[in-house]
Structure 1
């Protein structure tokens, strides 16, 4: 097959690796609009289950990713002046630059052409057609604002809902020894961050707050440097004198902040064009699954294409339909967890007056569809009892997915 991937992020690069491993005769090209090494973002997180899947897909790149990652197993929450720590599952962090360098190097070693600084825009048909000419398969791995998906937006049935809270991705030289949450009460309301290290000398910090708090603190105006100084003051106890780093570029403070875009599509393919990663779906950053889901998409698409060698357009359509059906089913629970996680943070004042250990316990339960509808103290007692009584555990497992499905259906109606 002649395969063109538009987008040189983790999904597009990993898919190109998998295609070449399955058949070196595949002609695979990855086009990325940015220059090599110029990605936005500091670190990404993943869990051990992803490593197992990557080892099955390509042991060599999996080993390189694991070797370049840092690990933690504790979670720490700072709530005002109180602190609580819990031991949990092992997590991993890796710099986004490092991850992309590993995948791009592996792809090139296998014979993939990786072309940087090649823009594919919906309004330039001549350029777009030149890139895609003669391709048997075109993979749109160009993110939430995918140009390829946008060209046929009516066919894909894209739906985007915008979250309420503004957030910002930052870096710091403070190295955290655990996955860290910090909740600070300001004169304009609560502001909080998630922080984790991604290499031996740097960490990612994601800051979030309600819109009123954002405006009240002046984070919607002034320069980027002004905004960073204000955040350094608010999280001084967490940062221990270490600075925060933004994207730079000369834009004002407000331009650095985002509101999360939850994206879904009615269908994920059109003819020989298929959506991958954030071009197909997004899940709220608070569950830390975006990169993992993109890599799992690549695994599923490569497997579907090679499960039964496609014969012509009908065979390709069957393979792409198989990929879409598999991934939609696998994403249901993750997307439900992401919706309720985002809602938990939007309703944060419900939980911040609890004792810190209880608040932290409910932080870990934020994916539950029951939590928004049960008083926090009562939910904590029920969950604590369920952990010791098997009948209650079974009831919780049975009721949770059913309530999630019912609530989601109502919100879509």
Structure 2
């Protein structure tokens, strides 16, 4: 089968890898509009469930991604003069590093990756060889992100819906390395602003600043350029950054203030065209699942094609399974977005109650969860929980074949 992927992000590259791993006879090409190494963003986060899938699906790239990832433990909520904590852990890595690993793996498998080529039509795009037009492809994958050109060509057939939120946010970096997933909320005379920060590498962190539209306009951020906005934000969050600057340029392109747009589609395929990742759906960044869901889409589509010799049956099966599986996640993402867009209702709470409101924003919780949350604010309880998570990670790493250090309890005994 001749397959063309439009978009060289995690969704497109990982689909190509997954498809080639299942049948090396496929002729697969990935077309990316940007140059090699270019990416507009900082870090991505993920959890053990993505690692489990990656180690099962392609051991080679999974090992490299894990080796280049940072572990963060707990969520830290800084609100007023107090700090509260939420349990849990996750991993993060630089988006550019992830793309580099996947691109090299794709090349090693014999996948053709073409950069610096924009596709504006699925029939004879500019610069495409005359004997190898996209019209000749057996299957075209739209993996070109939330602003997907591929989806836009058939919006009516896909049944595309877009809903734009009201809050403003800007995606920044900083050389300040946060060891926890950190939320910091700052009250100014003109309203509240907050950031979500997590380590991207040993050298920097991702820092997403968010505020309501009213606060954004009151601070004049609607009129300031990117550099001026960033200088203002550095002053507001100075106590959290420990003197480190905020970085607004990723691979040379200045960050912009954005409004989140939720994209959904009634169908994820049309004729021989299928959508994956943000081209098919978006979920609010406050649940940190965009990259994870894109890569799960990629594997699900590859597996569906492998199991169904008829391409139409394969796309129909993929569409039905993934849209159904995503329904709860999308609902949780909408609830999370709504909580942050109505945050004024919660900001007058003390730090501990505010953190609990944040942790339960995606649905009602049983009463005992609040008591557990209070206990987690005790240092000894947090340390015990982290030891438990260390053992949990060690077991998971052993189970999936990842090289890992012994669990914490064994390290203590041997030391």
Task: Verify the 8 A CA contact 1:224 1:248 in the aligned structure 2.
Answer: no
Answer 1 or 2: higher relative contact order, Cα 8 Å, separation at least 6: 2
Query: Would the alpha carbon gap of residues 217 and 123 (structure 1) be closer, same or farther in structure 2, given more than 3 Å must change?
Result: farther
Measure the CA separation in 2 of the matches of 1:80 and 1:120. 49
Q: Show the counterpart of 1:35.
A: 35
Q: Show the counterpart of 2:261.
A: 261
Query: Would the alpha carbon gap of residues 322 and 336 (structure 1) be closer, same or farther in structure 2, given more than 3 Å must change?
Result: same
Q: Show the counterpart of 1:343.
A: 338
Q: CA deviation at 1:58?
A: 0.5
* Pairing 1:320–2:320 present: no
Measure the CA separation in 1 of the matches of 2:123 and 2:3. 21
Q: Show the counterpart of 1:161.
A: 163
* Pairing 1:64–2:72 present: no
Measure the CA separation in 1 of the matches of 2:15 and 2:327. 22
Q: Show the counterpart of 2:145.
A: 143
Q: How many residues align?
A: 371
Q: Show the counterpart of 1:219.
A: 221
Q: Residues 76-135 of structure 1: CA distance to partner in whole angstroms, max 9, x if unpaired? A: 11112221233x222000000000000000000000000000100149865389641321
Q: Show the counterpart of 1:334.
A: 329
* Pairing 1:117–2:116 present: yes
Q: Show the counterpart of 2:82.
A: 82
Q: Show the counterpart of 1:188.
A: 190
SS in 2 for 1:185: strand
Q: Residues 346-381 of structure 1: CA distance to partner in whole angstroms, max 9, x if unpaired? A: 11121112121111112111111x4xxxxxxxx896
Measure the CA separation in 2 of the matches of 1:387 and 1:42. 31
- Segments of structure 1 that go 5 or more residues without pairing to the other structure are 371-378, 389-413
Q: Show the counterpart of 2:370.
A: 384
* Pairing 1:6–2:6 present: yes
Measure the CA separation in 2 of the matches of 1:265 and 1:77. 35
Measure the CA separation in 1 of the matches of 2:51 and 2:122. 39
Task: Verify the 8 A CA contact 2:40 2:251 in the aligned structure 1.
Answer: no
Q: 76-85 vs 185-194, which deviates more?
A: 76-85
- Segments of structure 2 that go 5 or more residues without pairing to the other structure are 375-415
Q: 1:359 aligns with which of 339, 354, 363?
A: 354
Task: Verify the 8 A CA contact 1:18 1:302 in the aligned structure 2.
Answer: yes
Measure the CA separation in 1 of the matches of 2:252 and 2:204. 23
Equivalent positions of 1:278-293 (< 5 A) are 278-293=278-293
Measure the CA separation in 1 of the matches of 2:68 and 2:104. 14
Measure the CA separation in 1 of the matches of 2:170 and 2:133. 34
Q: Aligned-pair RMSD on alpha carbons?
A: 2.2
Measure the CA separation in 2 of the matches of 1:131 and 1:191. 49
SS in 1 for 2:261: strand
Q: Residues 196-235 of structure 1: CA distance to partner in whole angstroms, max 9, x if unpaired? A: 0010010000011000100111111122221111000000
Q: Show the counterpart of 2:105.
A: 106
Q: Residues 48-67 of structure 1: CA distance to partner in whole angstroms, max 9, x if unpaired? A: 11100111111111111101
Q: 201-210 vs 133-142, which deviates more?
A: 133-142
Task: Verify the 8 A CA contact 1:247 1:256 in the aligned structure 2.
Answer: no
What's the TM-score, normalizing by structure 1? 0.86
Q: 1:229 aligns with which of 228, 231, 245?
A: 231
